[in-house]
Amino acid sequence: MKAEAVLQEYFGFEEFRSGQKELIEGALGRRDVLGIMPTSGGKSLCYQIPALLLDGITLVISPLISLMKDQVDALNEFGIPATFINSTLSIKEQNLRIDESIKGKYKLIYIAPERLNSEIFLNFARKVKIPLVAVDEAHCISQWGHDFRPSYREIPKFISSLDYRPVIGAFTATATEEIVEDICKILNLNNPLKIITGFDRPNLYFEVKKSSDKKSFILNYLEKSPEESGIIYCATRKEVESVGNFLSERGFNVGIYHAGLTNEERKKTQEDFIYDKILVIVATNAFGMGIDKSNVRFVIHHNMPQNIEAYYQEAGRAGRDGEKSDCILLYSPQDVIKQKYLIEQSIYNPKRQEVSYKNLQHMIDYCHTRGCLRGRLLNYFGEEMENENCNFCSNCLDDRELKDISLEAKKIISCVYRMEQRYGTTMVAKVLMGSRDKRILEFGLDKLSTYGIMDEYTEKVIKDMILLLIADGYLHMTEGKFPVVQLTPKSMEILKGEKKVYQRVEKEEELPKRDLPIH
């Protein structure tokens, strides 16, 4: 049987999606493959179809224990002999499945990487023929990724313990160079066929909303679309509870999901959501990996996530059915502080911390850019957009007035230079507005020629302008706990008047000015 025939007969799909055919044929031709596709791009078929056509049992390694049953049930419904072996089963049931597998009952077995430590499983693996090892969510192997799982490091050990070398298929939605390199290196992929399909999700509308009253925004949004299913992501369990209660008290049918709830509670909420018994889930990022619910109409981020990979993956859970869906990120400066704190608390390795700060800065820049949001996201994944504007994101559709702030930009850049590129955004803003802050006086910064040259603006407005310049590359923010603002080669373009900088302002509000200069 050919791959197309399996696609149609078993899965009932007409044709392959972008990249699937190449990856399937690669694996069938015994070549290692690396499939990089966006969430819902159709990665699973790329190992499920070879599994049916190859002699022996394909091993699927996935971190998603809670979803294995659903994935396997779905395959069984298509008439595909698959099973899973994981810690949710009794030992007796695990042994039974192993026995059945030895007898050739299954073509696919799903396991979590931890299973590769089990002697019983290793003995079993030596007894059967494994033509293909499919590594799902392969970015989990890299410590530079947003979801590093040390147990993934067992995979290469397991493969070299076999007395033959199965084909390896690695699949992920993460395309940053560092991680792709890591996947190839750590999994020891042998001249893999690398397929990176387009990352664009044209049906997703992207929006960044700077909001100090996020709950009201969400409430308004839900009131306008009461029938729609969606996910609201929050940074912490506390916020999940708070937003969840806020919405429930106002009569919305919402569920909450975070790692502090029991397995049963989480499972029930997840199922209720999948079967549309509850429309909206308020969750931490513990929710959603591998969830295949097609009609999610919106994903609202109550807080800015730690990096663009996580954001795109979470936002990408909207609109899997191809219908127009909203991805809205509610930004406030506190989110940056929160994420820095989380990095400090959870990442100890200094190199990893540095990478995390760098990734965080990309995320912050996304929130501040005036350029096309889709373009930003795609550029991050190494893709160019054909046009400069997508006309389907909040920046492209922003009809607020564009104010020329080139003069302000010049003043800011000069001030950064005068301050010897040694201070953060707050200090630069304070100097420009002429603040009498103790530290400004202590460091003698009030003696600089740029002191007070923007005294008509508030600190917040100046900071926003600085962040805009950083987001568009006219200034640079160093990484680390105490980032400082520095010049970039592009700063000169502003100083020489070669480039203009624009900022969107509300027509009626203009940029808020200060009533009284403080000094």
* 10 versus 443: smaller Cβ distance to ligand ADP: 10
Q: Which of 16, 106, 206, 252 is close enough to bind ligand ADP by CB under 6 A?
A: 16
Residue range at the interface with ligand ADP (CB under 6 A); choices 37-45, 99-107, 388-396, 413-421: 37-45
Residue 39, interface with ligand ADP (CB under 6 A)?
Answer: yes
Residue range at the interface with ligand ADP (CB under 6 A); choices 36-44, 226-234, 341-349, 482-490: 36-44
Tell me the closest approach of the beta carbon of residue 155 to ligand ADP, in angstroms: 18
Q: Are 134 and 61 in contact (CB under 8 A)?
A: yes
Tell me the closest approach of the beta carbon of residue 42 to ligand ADP, in angstroms: 3
Cα angle: 94, vertex 71, 254; to 5 degrees: 115
Cβ atoms < 10 Å from Cβ of 110: 26
Q: Which of 6, 24, 28, 45 is close enough to bind ligand ADP by CB under 6 A?
A: 45
One-letter identity of residue 28: L
Tell me the closest approach of the beta carbon of residue 39 to ligand ADP, in angstroms: 5
Structure tokens at 89: 């089963």
* 42 versus 371: smaller Cβ distance to ligand ADP: 42
Residue range at the interface with ligand ADP (CB under 6 A); choices 16-24, 223-231, 353-361, 391-399: 16-24
Q: Which of 10, 17, 69, 267 is close enough to bind ligand ADP by CB under 6 A?
A: 17
Reference 448, options 479, 416, 477; nearest CA is: 416
Distances from the Cα of 57 to the Cα of 76, 103, 164, 456, 466, angstroms: 15, 11, 14, 71, 57
Residue range at the interface with ligand ADP (CB under 6 A); choices 33-41, 85-93, 213-221, 340-348: 33-41
* 70 versus 479: smaller Cβ distance to ligand ADP: 70
Residue 101, interface with ligand ADP (CB under 6 A)?
Answer: no
Tell me the closest approach of the beta carbon of residue 20 to ligand ADP, in angstroms: 6
Residue 42, interface with ligand ADP (CB under 6 A)?
Answer: yes
Q: Which of 32, 33, 43, 432 is close enough to bind ligand ADP by CB under 6 A?
A: 43
Tell me the closest approach of the beta carbon of residue 378 to ligand ADP, in angstroms: 17
Q: Are 312 and 376 in contact (CB under 8 A)?
A: no
Residue 37, interface with ligand ADP (CB under 6 A)?
Answer: yes
Q: Which of 6, 19, 33, 41 is close enough to bind ligand ADP by CB under 6 A?
A: 41
Residue range at the interface with ligand ADP (CB under 6 A); choices 11-19, 335-343, 390-398, 480-488: 11-19
* 308 versus 477: smaller Cβ distance to ligand ADP: 308
- Which residues within the stretch 238-297 sit at the binding site for ligand ADP (CB under 6 A)? 292
Residue range at the interface with ligand ADP (CB under 6 A); choices 41-49, 140-148, 263-271, 501-509: 41-49
Q: Tokens 């700077």 identify what position?
A: 210
Q: Which of 24, 28, 44, 463 is close enough to bind ligand ADP by CB under 6 A?
A: 44
Q: How far apart are CA 259 and CA 242, in angstroms?
A: 15
Tell me the closest approach of the beta carbon of residue 44 to ligand ADP, in angstroms: 3
What is the β-pairing status of strands 401-404 and 502-505? antiparallel
Q: How far apart are CA 358 and CA 354, in angstroms?
A: 6
Q: How far apart are CA 405 and CA 24, in angstroms?
A: 53
E runs forming strands in 234-339:
254-257, 280-283, 296-301, 325-331
**Neighbour-count burial for 79-100, b at 16+ CB within 10 Å, e otherwise:** ebbbbbbbeebeeeebeebbee
DSSP assignment string, 412-429: HHHHHHHTTT-S-HHHHH
Q: Are 206 and 369 in contact (CB under 8 A)?
A: no
What is the β-pairing status of strands 280-283 and 204-210? unpaired
Which spans of this chain sit near ligand ADP (rule: CB under 6 A)? 13, 16-17, 20, 37, 39-45, 292
